[in-house]
Chain A
Amino acid sequence: GAVVSQHPSWVICKSGTSVKIECRSLDFQATTMFWYRQFPKQSLMLMATSNEGSKATYEQGVEKDKFLINHASLTLSTLTVTSAHPEDSSFYICSASRLENPEEGETQYFGPGTRLLVL
């Protein structure tokens, strides 16, 4: 259980185009999903927290108009990189929170990541 998928696994696009990345929790409902960005040999940088049915909360320094997040259902969140530029090239990882039990709170389960290369 607790499987999270991401699609696509990798994408190459031209500068100026928009790219949509999907994150799905396959066998559980996730009230909260998170989007991270990871640079080579570095830790994960939280970009935004997404709650179903409400606007995403962005971390400081992350442009919300650049990185559009939609959390349409309890199993799907999407990240759209608008007007992508080479500096947006990165590894994007989503996670979904599953409530294990009320005493333990949520555990985050991660998707396999999406490698974005903007030419």
Chain B
Amino acid sequence: AQSVAQPEDQVNVAEGNPLTVKCTYSVSGNPYLFWYVQYPNRGLQFLLKYITGDNLVKGSYGFEAEFNKSQTSFHLKKPSALVSDSALYFCAVRDRGRGRGSTLGRLYFGRGTQLTVWP
């Protein structure tokens, strides 16, 4: 079964400092991994994904994530945090299934990490 863990409910960081939001996963087989961000009363915005290839994935708004197979982790990072980065961040994993009329390909979400960047 697929699952995702975000061990921190809350991450606080000062503006200008680097930030890390942690995510570990458990899947059968090779994973597809995703990060999404949610601002208050909004849907989720896609940030980045890891499918294959380079372990360091670059995404939107200066975010990047590092896939570590041995540690089964996919931590989200940014070198210099902005106040506007304050939001709820979700890590997700999906299996590689595909096909009409099936639920294969569904996402399994972590519980979310609230990032607060203070000025």
CB distance from B112 to the nearest CB of A (A): 5
Cβ-based interface call for B25 (8 A):
no
Q: Interface size class for chain B?
A: 20 to 34
> Which residues of chain B are near A112, meaning CB under 8 Å?
42-43
Contact status of A110 and B43, CB under 8 A, knowing A43-B90, A46-B106: yes
> In chain A, residues 82-109, which have Cβ atoms closer than 8 Å to a Cβ of chain B?
91, 93, 95, 97, 103-109
- Residue from the list B41, B51, B107 in contact with A113, Cβ < 8 A: B41
> Which residues of chain A are near B103, meaning CB under 8 Å?
49, 57
Q: Interface size class for chain A?
A: 20 to 34
Tell me if A110 and B100 are in contact (CB < 8 A): no
Taken residue by residue from 22 to 53, chain B's Cβ proximity to chain A (1 for < 8 Å, 0 otherwise) reads as 00000000001010100001111110010110
Closest to A92 in B: B43
Closest to A108 in B: B107
CB distance from B111 to the nearest CB of A (A): 5
Binding site for A on B (CB under 8 A): 32, 34, 36, 41-46, 49, 51-52, 90, 94, 96, 98, 100-103, 105-107, 109-112, 114
